[in-house]
Amino acid sequence: MLDHAREALVLVSGKDRSAFEADRLLQLGVVRLLEIVGEAAARTPQAVREQHADIAWGQIIGLRNRLIHGYDTVDLAIVWTILADDLPRLRDRLEEILEPSSGL
């Protein structure tokens, strides 16, 4: 989850929403990375999810399902909001969990 969240954020780094909406390859890449984040969340053991209940596991998995099955109706405004607001917080939280000695 962490690696793919980081990669998605790197892809949109320095870009604004209009640049994102104008770049079809960027959209496709980011959507694919978000699908992988959601798939990884779905494969996370229930005990781990319960231990880190502050993470919105259901929403992350739900996003993956929406992207996979509703590909023809993906709302890029919502994807951008996730990239701008939610994904950085998820990345930071996963770093706290997985890399506690890094000081992040």
Q: Catalytic: 32?
A: no
Q: Catalytic: 69?
A: yes
Angle between helices 2-12 and 87-98 (to 10 degrees): 140
- For the four alpha carbons of 4, 94, 18 and 68, in that order, the dihedral sign comes to positive
Task: Say which of 69, 89, 91, 93 is annotated catalytic.
Answer: 69
Per-residue pLDDT of 3-51, as tens digits, reads 999 999 999 999 999 999 999 999 999 999 999 999 999 999 999 999 9
Confidence band (pLDDT; 50, 70, 90) for 73? confident
Task: Say which of 6, 17, 64, 66 is annotated catalytic.
Answer: 64
Residue 89 is given by DSSP the state: H
